[in-house]
Amino acid sequence: MKFENILISRKLAIATVTINRPSKLNALNKVTIKELHDALKDLDKDKSCRVIILTGSGEKAFVAGADIAEFANYSTKEGGKLASNGHKQLFSYIEKMNTPVIAAVNGYALGGGLELAMACHYRVASHNARMGLPEVSLGLIPGYGGTQRLPQLIGRGRAMEMILGGGMIDAAKAQEFGLVNHVVEQEHLMDLAIKLATEMCQNSPKAIGYAIKAINAGFNHNENGYEAEIEAFGKCFGTSDFKEGTTAFLEKRKPDFSDM
């Protein structure tokens, strides 16, 4: 599949998806959101792909926000549809994927860019990264999950300050808040992301998929997280990964989940 605004590369079981609009600081528009959805959907179906790294091209920005020119003249109805479609196509879609997605935040992650990073399963950042949700300065609020995911990650009070103030925080503050897991020099960012991805590749992909579902359930008001965990735990017993994992443990060898 050929894409206009994204690049895809593979290194064994790890896929890297790069948003490639450097002249726009990788800003998200409808085409880019659709392309990301299509690429991630294909990778999630591909059993040989175990982890996805999502990043931006260049050294300035992960994603500097949404492409404002695209929706500056939208009506109330059009604005609501824009947010709804974005949730379904990309932001909520990533969160629910079985394949873990690591956001490698290589610069500015603002507005929709930070919302995209927060939809990923976890985040690593370069030392020069800057993050924020400045939508109130445009007469808007975050519309791609920012008002929900940011409080979950850093707490209500800090999220209120970031969203209502509309300012940015640096990578060190983001790590202190728990918004990102690790911060490194920019030249080491992808190495770190690949290291973390490689570690995950050693584990059961089926168990990882069930773990993602169970963790997400704890943040869904319509689900009982404990019940979701119990159900997912039970389902693990019916997988070939469980058989391989326990057999390997008893045989005192490393498990091989590559062909499970």
Q: Mind listing the pLDDT tens digit for each residue in 10-39?
A: 999 999 999 999 999 999 999 999 999 999
114 neighbors 93 (Cβ within 8 angstroms): no
Confidence band (pLDDT; 50, 70, 90) for 258?
confident
Alpha-carbon distances of 219 from 71, 123, 147, rounded to whole Å: 30, 18, 13
Contacts of 243 (CB under 8 A, 6+ apart): none
115 is catalytic: yes
DSSP H helices in 59-104? 68-71, 76-86, 92-95
pLDDT digit string, tens, across residues 80-91: 999 999 999 999
Q: Which amino acid is at 83?
A: A
231 neighbors 211 (Cβ within 8 angstroms): no
> In the beta sheet, which residues pair with residue 231?
none
205 neighbors 98 (Cβ within 8 angstroms): yes
Whether 255 has a pLDDT exceeding 80, the answer reads yes
pLDDT digit string, tens, across residues 169-201: 999 999 999 999 999 999 999 999 999 999 999
Whether 259 has a pLDDT exceeding 80, the answer reads no
pLDDT given for residue 69 in this prediction: 87
pLDDT given for residue 182 in this prediction: 98
Mean pLDDT of the chain: 96
Whether 64 has a pLDDT exceeding 70, the answer reads yes
Q: Quick one: what percent of the chain has pLDDT higher than 70?
A: 100
Alpha-carbon distances of 206 from 39, 97, 159, 201, rounded to whole Å: 21, 12, 33, 11
Dihedrals phi, psi of 188, to nearest 5 degrees: -105, 0
Tell me how long the chain is: 260
Dihedrals phi, psi of 19, to nearest 5 degrees: -75, 120
Whether 205 has a pLDDT exceeding 80, the answer reads yes
pLDDT given for residue 97 in this prediction: 97
The one catalytic residue among 59, 70, 95, 115: 115
pLDDT digit string, tens, across residues 70-123: 998 999 999 999 999 999 999 999 999 999 999 999 999 999 999 999 999 999
23 neighbors 72 (Cβ within 8 angstroms): no
Q: Choose among 86, 126, 135, 87: nearest CA to 108.
A: 126
SS3 132: strand
Could you tell me the pTM of the whole model? 0.95
Query: Which run of H or of E encompasses 126?
Result: strand 122-126
Q: Choose among 121, 108, 123: nearest CA to 182.
A: 123
pLDDT digit string, tens, across residues 130-157: 999 999 999 999 999 999 999 999 999 9
What are the structure tokens assigned to 82, written together?
């824009």
The one catalytic residue among 78, 95, 135, 251: 135
Confidence band (pLDDT; 50, 70, 90) for 260?
low
